[in-house]
Structure 1
Amino acid sequence: MKIDILTLFPTMLEEVFSYSIIGRAIKDKLVELNYINIRDFSEDKHKRVDDYPFGGGPGMVMKPEPIYKAIESVRKTNSRVIYLTPKGRVYSQSLAKELSKEQHLILLCGHYEGIDNRIVENYIDDEISIGDYVLTGGEISAMVVVDSVVRLIPGVLSSEESFKEESHYNGLLEYPQYTRPRVFRGYEVPDVLLSGNHKKIEEWRLYQSLKLTYMRRPDLIDKLELNEKQKKVLNEIKKEINTQK
């Protein structure tokens, strides 16, 4: 996969992606990341990329010409151009899976009061928001998208199980995790995890995963098509919670 990030702050992104899992994926050539400085495409002698909004109002708007040239400098027939903006559809694990199957992503990081809407209407394939809040620019959003997408590329993680058990991958929150020591300041690891009984451990993890999701994110439960086993466990959880009230 190839990912081109169009930004005003390329060094900010280079530093973040040089470490850990993403850094190794780049080194192993499982993904190619490029940082395109939008200012390089400005014809202004001071390399300005923004101007006052027509109709008045606060702040500045990013000009269309530099953005258009930046996009066209890397766009191919298989490219998917994404504008990171609070106006976009909310990002999710299912969307991360979808993007991980693309061959070429172009991520456009907005700034100031946003970008000229003629770019959005004519040169953007998708608009994505990472949540209902406002950030200074699109760079942090790009970090979120790149990290969540790249880790799904085959070979990036040591085992496919590493992400298939994680929160949101299968629509549920992940079950609690424990490691050594067995007893920490008087707090013990659940006995079932030390039993060696893999069936019991699997049942415990399913129960905990469903319980956490039901209590903290019931909206996720509503979106899932639970199988018969999951439905049975969820009913047990509901009975347990109602008994405690």
Structure 2
Amino acid sequence: MSFAATVLTLYPEMFPGPLGHSLAGRALEDGRWTIDTVQIRDFASDRHRTVDDTPAGGGAGMVLKADVLGAAIDHAMQRQPDAPVLAMTPRGQPITQKRIRSLVQGPGVTLLCGRFEGFDERIFEARPVEEVSLADIVLSGGEMAALSILDACIRLLPGVMGAASSGVEESFEEGLLEHPQYTRPVEWEGRTIPEVLRSGDHAKIAGWRKAMSEDHTRLRRPDLWERHGGVRARPASGVRHEDKEADQ
């Protein structure tokens, strides 16, 4: 059974977009996942097919109407009753790799893409819609965020990535950022691949990679490091970053 994606959008022509190429594109051709776009405007009831209106209480911009959105969501839920509905909005909970993995375990997902000043709040009260965000940024619409979330899901589907370990040894899978990666040539512009990676000692390599993941997470993403537990392991080299900084 393939992973079924439904996208509610005012711009269905944006899909599959980049997901029609590379790994995701091949997986789409192979039937490992499917995508169905739903034009939100089709659920407007007036002759002008109006999907938005001015904000109650005044203010700039326009807001997507609850009656139109509700009808579009109901349509998607009838087609995929077991798929969660995610609304793309900057105020939503940041999407995580853990949430992506949970989505992949299910039959698919319905993604609601906003525009203008966002959604009428009542849809979140009346429908089981989960508000998610891609990052602490504001986009012109939810389509780009939806594409990113779908890409994150598709690459984890069975048979999409070549190596089974590709989806495991990477950032966020263990609550840490990924360790640095190197490849040939051994020397480039006077910089060499760390000796431990050329040693052939798999235990030492694993220890170095774990230590580097911890170092990078602690220094670059203290929020992740704190959630991880903040337990500092000594690198395989035996030299901590604090020791290096003290020597400089």
- Work out the CA distance in 2 between the residues paired with 1:231 and 1:28: 44
What residue is the counterpart of 1:237 in the other structure? Answer: 240
What residue is the counterpart of 1:180 in the other structure? Answer: 184
What residue is the counterpart of 1:37 in the other structure? Answer: 39
What residue is the counterpart of 1:60 in the other structure? Answer: 62
CA pair 226-219 structure 1, distance change in 2 beyond 3 A = closer
Aligned-partner residue type, residue 89 of structure 1: Q
CA pair 226-116 structure 1, distance change in 2 beyond 3 A = closer
Deviation, 1:57, is 1.4
Correspondence list, 1:160-171, <5 A:
160-171=164-175
Aligned-partner residue type, residue 51 of structure 1: D
What residue is the counterpart of 1:69 in the other structure? Answer: 71
Of 4, 7, 32 in structure 1, the residue corresponding to residue 6 of structure 2 is 4
1:118-159 deviations in Å (ceiling 9; x for gaps):
212111331101122211111111112111122222222122
Q: Are the counterparts in 2 of residues 81 and 123 from structure 1 also a CA contact under 8 Å?
A: no
CA pair 239-51 structure 1, distance change in 2 beyond 3 A = closer
Q: Are the counterparts in 1 of residues 214 and 233 from structure 2 also a CA contact under 8 Å?
A: no
- Work out the CA distance in 2 between the residues paired with 1:85 and 1:38: 16
What residue is the counterpart of 1:112 in the other structure? Answer: 116
Aligned-partner residue type, residue 71 of structure 2: K
CA pair 174-226 structure 1, distance change in 2 beyond 3 A = same
Unpaired runs of at least 5, structure 2:
none
Aligned-partner residue type, residue 87 of structure 1: R
Unpaired runs of at least 5, structure 1:
none
- Work out the CA distance in 1 between the residues paired with 2:242 and 2:52: 58
What residue is the counterpart of 2:83 in the other structure? Answer: 79
Is 1:214 aligned to residue 223 of structure 2? no
Q: Secondary structure of the residue that 2:166 maps to in structure 1?
A: helix
- Work out the CA distance in 2 between the residues paired with 1:205 and 1:79: 37
Total equivalences in the alignment: 243
- Work out the CA distance in 2 between the residues paired with 1:226 and 1:54: 46
Is 1:93 aligned to residue 97 of structure 2? yes
1:64-121 deviations in Å (ceiling 9; x for gaps):
2332222222213312111111121122112212222221311100111112222121
What residue is the counterpart of 2:53 in the other structure? Answer: 51
Q: Secondary structure of the residue that 1:79 maps to in structure 2?
A: coil
- Work out the CA distance in 2 between the residues paired with 1:226 and 1:21: 35
Q: Are the counterparts in 2 of residues 83 and 124 from structure 1 also a CA contact under 8 Å?
A: no
Q: TM-score, normalised by structure 1?
A: 0.89
RMSD of the alignment, in Å? 2.2
Aligned-partner residue type, residue 131 of structure 1: A
Q: Secondary structure of the residue that 2:16 maps to in structure 1?
A: helix
Of 12, 15, 18 in structure 2, the residue corresponding to residue 16 of structure 1 is 18
- Work out the CA distance in 1 between the residues paired with 2:211 and 2:234: 10
CA pair 97-244 structure 1, distance change in 2 beyond 3 A = farther
Deviation, 1:41, is 2.1
CA pair 226-154 structure 1, distance change in 2 beyond 3 A = farther
Q: Are the counterparts in 2 of residues 110 and 138 from structure 1 also a CA contact under 8 Å?
A: yes
